[in-house]
Amino acid sequence: MAEYKMPKYPVHLFKMPIADDGDKTIPPDEASDAGRASLPEGFPQETQLPLTAGGVAPNRLDFQGMFYMLSAFAFWQQSGGMFKYNKELNYTTPAVVYHENELWWCEKDNGPATEAGPQEPGAEGQEGEDVSQYWTPLFSKISGGNNGGGLVPVGTVICGWWQEAPDGYLALDGGDFDATKYPKLAALLNNPQTLPDLRGYFIRGYDPNGVTDPNGKTRALGSKQTDAIRNITAHWICDSELRTGSCEGSIYYIRSISRSNGASNHSSADSGEWGFDASRVVPTAAENRPVNVCLLYCIKHD
C-alpha cells in the first residue's frame, strides 16, 4: 500500500504558462477530427494503435494546448489569483469565487446543470428567490454575519472603529434584544432581554483561580468592579523650627506654621499644617484610568 507523503513547496515555479507564445490548439468541448484530442475523450483510441495498424500519431498542437490550459491555471494560482464567477459553470460548497469586487462562499449547489440554475452572487433572485441561500460574502461567512454561522462562536466580544455594530454583532450598550431572534445569545447570557453594558469599561481577563485577580475566585463572567487604587501613605520629619524635613515623591507641601504667643522660638504649643497633593507628581482627574482609546464593544449574536 502506497504511503501518503507530505506536500512540498514546488522548487520550480511557472514563470509563464507552457507554450504561452507557441502555436497550440485548445481542446474543443466535443470530439473532433480523427486522432485529434478533445475535452470529453482526451486522445482518442486511434492515437494508441501502431501506425501500421491504421493508428494516428498524437498531434503536437493538442499537447501544447493541454499543457497550456493546465499550466495557465497553475500559473494563476501560484500568483494568488482567485477565479471569477461564471454563470456557465456549476458550483458547490466549499467553492469561493470573486465577483463584483468581493469574495463569495458557495452555500448551495447552483449552475446550469443544477436544479437551481445559475445564481449570481449578490444579485436579486427571480420571483423573489433568496439568492443568499446560494452565496454568502466570505467575510460574513467567517465572522458569522448574515446568519452564515461562521468560524467565530456566539458570544465573541470584539471592539472596532465603529459607531454602530457591524453585521452579525450587537453593540454592548445595555440595550434590549430579541431572544427569539437570537436564541443562542440569550441562552449564553442567561438573560433573554438585556445586553451587557460595557460602555466606558476596561476588560479584565476571567481568572477563576485568582492567579492575578485577587477577587477572581468570587467573580462571575460579566461581573463588574468599582474603581479603586492602592492605598497611599506618607510621613513627615520636621526639625525643631517646624521646617520641612524629608518625604519621598514631593507630593506634600507646607501650608502654614503657627507660633505660640507670637514667639520666634519653638515651643510645645507651636503647630503646623501640611498639605498632600498627588497632582504635583502625576496627572489627576475625577476618575482612575490608564491611557486608553475609545472603541465600540460588540458581541456576536449568531
pLDDT number for residue 148:
47
Q: Is residue 4 part of a domain?
A: no
Are 22 and 113 within one domain? no
The answer to whether residues 93 and 171 belong to one domain is no
Question: Is 7 inside a domain boundary?
Answer: no
Percent of the chain with pLDDT over 90: 52
Query: Helix H segments across 33-166?
Result: 60-78, 138-143
**Any domain includes 2:** no
Q: Are residues 211 and 300 in the same domain?
A: yes
Q: Which domain holds residue 297?
A: 153-227+287-302
**pLDDT confidence tier of residue 113, bands split at 50, 70 and 90:** very high
Q: Is the pLDDT of residue 81 over 50?
A: yes
Q: Does residue 120 lie in a domain region?
A: yes
> Is 5 within the bounds of a domain?
no
Q: Which of 152, 181, 205 is the last residue of a domain?
A: 152
Distance CA 68, CA 75 (A): 10
- The answer on 158 and 300 residing in a single domain is yes
Asked if 235 and 124 sit in the same domain, the reply is no
Instruction: Report yes or no on 181 lying in a domain.
Output: yes
Model pLDDT for residues 257-278, shown as the tens digit of each residue: 554 555 555 455 555 566 677 7
DSSP symbol at 176? B
Predicted model pTM: 0.53
Among candidates 190, 142, 163, 107, which has minimal Cα distance to 300? Answer: 142
Q: 70 lies in a domain?
A: yes
**Predicted local distance difference test score (pLDDT) of residue 146:** 47
Check whether residue 202 and residue 298 sit in a common domain.
Answer: yes
Do 146 and 157 lie in a common domain? no
Same domain membership, residue 70 and residue 25? yes
Shared domain for 28 and 125, answered yes or no, is no
Number of Cβ within 10 Å of residue 121's Cβ equals 22
Distance CA 64, CA 19 (A): 6
Structure-block grid coordinates of residue 206: 476571567
- Do 169 and 298 lie in one domain? The reply is yes
Q: How confident is the model at residue 1 (pLDDT cuts 50, 70, 90)?
A: confident
Q: Which residues of 247-268 are buried (b: 16+ CB within 10 A; e: fewer)?
A: eeeebbeeeebeeeeeeeeeee
pLDDT given for residue 248 in this prediction: 44
- pLDDT confidence tier of residue 176, bands split at 50, 70 and 90: very high
Q: Are residues 182 and 218 in the same domain?
A: yes
For the chain, give the mean pLDDT: 83
- 3 in a structural domain: no
Calpha distance 253→229 (Å, rounded): 22
Query: Given 152, 181, 204, which residue is the final one in a domain?
Result: 152
Same domain for 170 and 299, yes or no, is: yes
pLDDT in tens, 182-240: 888 998 998 778 999 999 999 989 999 999 999 999 999 889 988 888 877 766 655 54
